[in-house]
């Protein structure tokens, strides 16, 4: 039995296979409509979510399966003090696979150690968000045609943004990847990622504060929101929240085929005037999230569709 805690849990070959499967699902959804008949997905979300929870649920429903779960800690027995370990032992009696989001880093890993069903980390604190990364990889591969030979700008809250941490881990395994890390000093990528991931793997990167200084070089611009829920005080959040606003004027500095991605939700960091730009791919990205989660459910449940 396999779980998914980090994008590194899959080898590059396994990721290629998963992305091909997602691609086939996109183009031949009817082939997969009954692949999970009789199977149940539990979504255990201790933190708010729109895309991740609902795209997991849509994915299982598209595969013919059923869904159950909770969407906040308050509506589960966590509010009465139940541990994640006990909860997953019980969920294992009710469902075939579980997607779990939790504000504490490592909570889905603890759950996986007590579980008798596959557990998927659907976001743990500021740590990792592997299924967002699978979504990002599928989006880049589908729209660019390749995952190597890219200059990727990561912009915004690079300190608390778990999607950024997972994406860096995943992309360094592809050839000729270069990062431009665009953030204010207070929201820089954590030093362990700079030192143990980028430097140790000889991945070229530069850090800049002004988005305008990076735009012309980028193949992908990955925008992120400032993670209000991870700040210790409101004052710091208010000071940082509008540090970057991508607008038409900044888009004019970019290559004609640069893609703008964002894991969403967006707050103010991308002006709505950018939404109609053909390079804005963030809503397509949310759609790719359903295909890749369908592929992930099939893979972890070891369901083969001929």
According to the binding rule CB under 6 A, does residue 118 interact with ligand CP? no
Which residues touch 195 (CB under 8 Å, ≥6 apart)?
none
The least CB distance from residue 29 to ligand CP, in Å, is: 22
According to the binding rule CB under 6 A, does residue 121 interact with ligand CP? no
Size of the site for ligand CP (CB under 6 A): 9
- Compare residues 89 and 284 and give the one whose CB is closer to ligand CP: 284
Up-side HSE of residue 112: CA atoms within 13 Å toward CB?
Answer: 20
In the region spanning residues 235 to 294, those forming contacts with ligand CP, defined by CB under 6 A, are 263-265
Cβ contact 171:165 at 8 Å:
no
28 is catalytic: no
Catalytic residue (one of 40, 43, 52, 225): 52
- Compare residues 205 and 222 and give the one whose CB is closer to ligand CP: 222
- Compare residues 148 and 265 and give the one whose CB is closer to ligand CP: 265
Cβ contact 90:116 at 8 Å:
no
According to the binding rule CB under 6 A, does residue 166 interact with ligand CP? no
127 is catalytic: no
The least CB distance from residue 66 to ligand CP, in Å, is: 21
The H or E element spanning position 238 is: helix 234-240
Q: What angle do CA 239, 243, 248 make, to 5 degrees?
A: 150
According to the binding rule CB under 6 A, does residue 299 interact with ligand CP? no
Give the one residue of 43, 49, 62, 299 binding ligand CP; rule: CB under 6 A: 49
The least CB distance from residue 57 to ligand CP, in Å, is: 11
80 is catalytic: yes
Q: Tokens 């699902």 identify what position?
A: 25
According to the binding rule CB under 6 A, does residue 132 interact with ligand CP? yes
What is the number of other CB atoms lying within 10 angstroms of the CB of residue 55?
24
Q: Report CA Rg, the chain.
A: 19
Cα separation values, 305 from 33, 35, 53, 98, 224, Å? 10, 7, 24, 21, 36
- Rounded Cα distance, 143 and 121, in Å: 26
According to the binding rule CB under 6 A, does residue 168 interact with ligand CP? no
Give the one residue of 11, 50, 206, 287 binding ligand CP; rule: CB under 6 A: 50
Q: 121's torsion region: left (phi>0), alpha (psi -120 to 50) or beta?
A: beta
Site string for ligand CP, 71-110 (x = CB under 6 A): ----------------------------------------
Helix, strand, coil share (%) of the chain residues, nearest 5: 45, 15, 35
Annotated catalytic sites, by residue? Answer: 51-52, 80, 101, 129
The residues of the shown chain that bind ligand CP, judged by CB under 6 A, are: 49-52, 123, 132, 263-265
């Amino acid at each position: 039995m396999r779980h998914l805690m980090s994008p590194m849990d899959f080898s590059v070959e396994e990721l290629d296979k998963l992305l091909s499967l997602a691609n086939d699902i996109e183009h031949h959804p009817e082939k997969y409509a009954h692949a999970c008949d009789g199977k149940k997905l539990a979504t255990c979300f201790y933190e708010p979510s729109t895309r991740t929870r609902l795209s997991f649920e849509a994915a299982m429903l598209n595969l013919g399966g059923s869904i159950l779960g909770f969407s906040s800690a308050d509506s589960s027995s966590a509010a009465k003090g139940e541990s994640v370990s006990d909860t997953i032992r019980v969920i294992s009696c009710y469902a075939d696979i579980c997607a779990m989001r939790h504000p504490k880093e490592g909570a889905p890993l603890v759950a996986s150690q007590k579980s008798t069903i596959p557990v998927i980390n659907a976001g743990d604190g500021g740590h990792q968000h592997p299924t967002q990364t699978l979504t990002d990889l599928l989006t880049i591969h589908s729209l660019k045609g390749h995952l190597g030979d890219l200059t990727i700008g990561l912009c915004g809250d690079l300190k608390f943004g778990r999607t950024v941490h997972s994406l860096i881990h995943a992309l360094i395994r592809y050839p000729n990847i270069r990062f431009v890390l665009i953030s204010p000093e207070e929201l820089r990528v954590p030093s362990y990622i700079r030192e143990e991931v980028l430097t140790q793997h000889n991945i070229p990167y530069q850090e800049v504060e002004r988005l305008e200084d990076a735009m012309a070089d980028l193949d992908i611009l990955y925008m992120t929101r400032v993670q209000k829920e991870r700040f210790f005080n409101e004052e710091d959040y208010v000071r940082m929240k509008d540090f970057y606003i991508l607008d038409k004027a900044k888009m004019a500095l970019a290559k004609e085929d640069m893609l703008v991605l964002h894991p969403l939700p967006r707050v103010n960091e991308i002006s709505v005037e950018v939404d109609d730009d053909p390079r804005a791919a963030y809503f397509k990205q949310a759609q790719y999230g359903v295909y890749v989660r369908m592929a992930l459910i099939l893979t972890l449940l070891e369901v083969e569709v001929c």
